[in-house]
Structure 1
Amino acid sequence: MVTMSDVARAAGVSRATVSYALRGDPRITESTASRIRQVAADLHYNANLSARSLRSGRTGVIGVAIFELDRPYPSEMGAAMSREIARRGYQPIVQQTSGSKDDEVAILRKVTSQLCDGMIFSPAKVADEELRSLSHGKPMVLLDDLSPDPVFDSVATACEAGAQTAVGHLIEIGCRHIVVVGAPYEMLVEDRLASSVRGRRLLGSLRAFEQADIEVGPQNFFDIPLWTADAARASARRMLEADRYRGVDGVFCLTDTVALGFMRGLADCGVRVPDDLALIGFDGIAESEYSIPSLSTIRTNLDDLSRKAVGLLIDQIEHDGMTGDPQRLTADFDLVVRESTQR
């Protein structure tokens, strides 16, 4: 069996340097770390997690629990997290919670507390204090958590800024009767809902309308309770048949999945994108580039999100917990203009 000492001898460095490099420790330069990783790969070296656990009390495993893995965006996010975790010298375990509290609790009890050095978690039903109790004090980083009094580090998608950019883009190309598809206008009244992903994307949309001095109301928002392509496709006809949505010339869908389904529903009704109305989504999933027409979108930089989330978590692991107040970071994003908004 190839050992870490064998890798160190072959690379001409110390055993400690190999250990640091394979964990992604920033004290090791990228050129040295890359050379060590290549030597380890050439020798077919695999870290012995059981031995590591006995020596350090750690397993070298990081868990990722996100809402679902059978839809494009969370699946792509899980893959990006896996790549970054492996790059930092840890082994990833990715699971889905399905938005179920029972599943969230089971993952925390049976996986996080027993198998993982820490967890990147996308909470839906379990509150912060319950998360802390169930994880038994293990390091934790949350995704898209905007608790008023956070107890964990977190990384968020740029919901407000991204939505403001999306609606702003529609305004810039001349749209004036814009509809935001995916949530009702009324949800912003309740604080808890306003701080959700849907609520924050609605808030960003409102800021774009206000900045352009466009008066808005319920006629600018169309709810789709389920963010699925099938639900969005079926809802397109309902929106077109409703009197208050007559004259729509631009649509912002709160996710790309919704946008692709909605665009298909428009085509079913003989409405052409972008000739009859412009349409933009949010997320930047890979398939948005290959639809006809190709979909303009707000693309979340999943590599940046993963670097930030994994970096926060490993910092906690290496320092046995947070060293200060909880940090809140936001992933980078960019506007990708494609055929669906090119007139």
Structure 2
Amino acid sequence: MGVSLKDIAKLAGVSLATVSNVVNGYRPVGAATRERVQRAIDQLGYVPNLSARHLRNGRTGIIALAIPELDNPYFAELAGFAIRQARESGFTLLIDYTNGDRESELTLAEGFREQIIDGLVLSPVGLTREEILNRRSSTPLVLIGESIYDVPHHHIAIDNLAASHAAVQHLVSLDRRRIAFAGAHPDAERQPAHLRLRGYQEALAAAGLPSDPRLVASTAHFVRSDGYAAMRTLLELPEPPDAVFAYNDLIAIGAMRAIIEAGLRIPEDIAVIGFDDIEDGRFSTPTLTTISPDKERIGTLAVSSLIAQVLGEPAGPPRDVQPAFRLVTRESTLGRR
């Protein structure tokens, strides 16, 4: 037989209602009484049955995080923070994978698996604003990622324009004048690639530098091989760039490989800056300068906002939240110090 609340109440010398209030956090309990109940809990080894508690409240205790990429370290790190926050809140987090496919995202947004999940954190790539506005599911939804939607749901994303400005301004401060952008995607008007390209172009204009379309390299995807191929194309120009701002760290790492293979030096010949601050960049050769989003806050805030909706707590009107970012300077722009 497992330990019951009655057993705890008997050992602590308090009422069953008091034990229930301590375990469930329903009402304030005096510090001395709470401590006595907690000692009894620890002594008896009581473990709350979260599944039963959720079922009594009409919930499953499971929420989902849907991400477009499984093999991107950025999303792996983000998911880790989200899992921790869910666990601390007494929920289980289910990871779903969309591959950035619009149909997969639409299926999830429309309530697929709504019988087994209480809410969804979604990082959409292909969904349109209208599809999110017209979703039929009542399952609580929080959006993450830098796509712009302007919809009545909490949306948590950093300011891509400001972050891109910071990246380019750093390169300009190092007297780089032919700054390339690797990772453009012509079909992504509302997506991060478009926003980061726009920020790059605006920063060049602010610095009084021309925007040369030949220095903008498009990629089909956003992985290392795409960065490698984009950099090889840029190196074939009559006047190659002296710096590269990459859409993400994976593209930057691929670009650095192409630069080194060409017999050029980083950063002496070409400086490189990425975006995401994944762990790979801290151990690459050279180490990678990057824009570092606050992944912990993004993951934590997304899950806590979703759980507040699931529990019916007052969460205020839907809002766009922009967690902080910072420029992390390393060897790929500053050299060895």
Common fold by TM > 0.5: yes
CA shift at 1:128, angstroms? 5.0
Aligned to 1:18: 23
Equivalence map 1:1-343=2 (5 Å): 1-2=2-3, 14-20=19-25, 43=45, 45=47, 47-49=49-51, 51-108=52-109, 112-128=113-129, 130-131=131-132, 136-144=137-145, 146-183=147-184, 187=186, 193-243=188-238, 246-319=239-312, 323-324=316-317, 326-343=318-335
User: Cα gap change, 1:17/1:208 in structure 2, threshold over 3 Å: closer, same or farther?
Assistant: farther
The one-letter code sitting in structure 2 at the alignment partner of 1:157 is: I
**Which residue type is aligned with residue 161 of structure 2?**
E
SS at match of 1:141: strand
Q: Aligned partners of 2:326 and 2:108: how far apart in 1?
A: 33
**Higher gyration radius (CA):** 2
Segments of 5+ residues of structure 1 without an aligned counterpart are none
Q: Distance in 2 between matches of 1:9 and 1:70?
A: 52
1:183 aligned partner, one-letter code: A
Cα RMSD, aligned residues only: 3.3
Task: Give per-residue Cα distances to partners, 1:288-307, cap 9 Å, x unaligned.
Answer: 00000000000111111112
Please give the TM-score of this superposition, normalised by the length of structure 2: 0.84
Confirm or deny: 8 A CA contact 1:229 1:261 kept in the other structure: yes
| Paired residue type of 1:312 | S
Tell me, in whole angstroms, the C-alpha distance in 2 between the residues paired with 1:226 and 1:41: 55
Deviation at 1:308, TM superposition (A): 1.9
Supply the distance in 2 between the matched residues of 1:202 and 1:9 (Cα, whole angstroms): 66
Residue pair 1:280, 1:340 contacting (<8 A) in 2 also: yes
Counterpart-to-counterpart distance in 1, 2:156 and 2:222:
22
Q: Is the 8 A contact 2:60 2:117 kept in 1?
A: yes
For residues 7 and 280 of structure 1, do their structure 2 counterparts lie closer, same or farther at Cα, with a shift above 3 Å needed?
A: farther
Query: Which secondary structure state, in structure 2, belongs to the residue aligned with residue 293 of structure 1?
Result: coil
TM-score by length of 1: 0.82
User: In proportion to residue count, which structure has more helix?
Assistant: 1
Q: In the superposition, relative to structure 1, how do residues 135 and 283 fare at CA in structure 2: closer, same or farther (>3 Å)? A: farther
Q: Report how far residue 104 of structure 1 moved.
A: 2.8
Please say if residues 106 and 131 of structure 2, whose CA atoms lie closer than 8 Å, have aligned partners that are also in contact.
no
Q: Is the 8 A contact 2:147 2:192 kept in 1?
A: no
Deviations 1:195-222, CA, capped at 9 Å, x for gaps: 2111111122123212212121313322
Percent pairwise identity: 29
Q: Using a 3 Å threshold, how does the CA distance of structure 1 residues 109 and 204 change in structure 2: closer, same or farther?
A: closer
Count of aligned residue pairs for this structure pair: 323
One-letter code aligned to 1:261: G
Deviation at 1:47, TM superposition (A): 3.2
Question: Is the CA contact (8 Å cut-off) linking 1:4 and 1:45 kept in structure 2?
Answer: no
Q: Work out whether residues 146 and 157 of structure 2, in 8 Å CA contact, stay in contact via their aligned partners in 1.
A: yes
Q: CA deviation at 1:281?
A: 0.2
Q: Take 1:41 and 1:282, find their aligned partners in 2: how far apart are those partners? A: 49
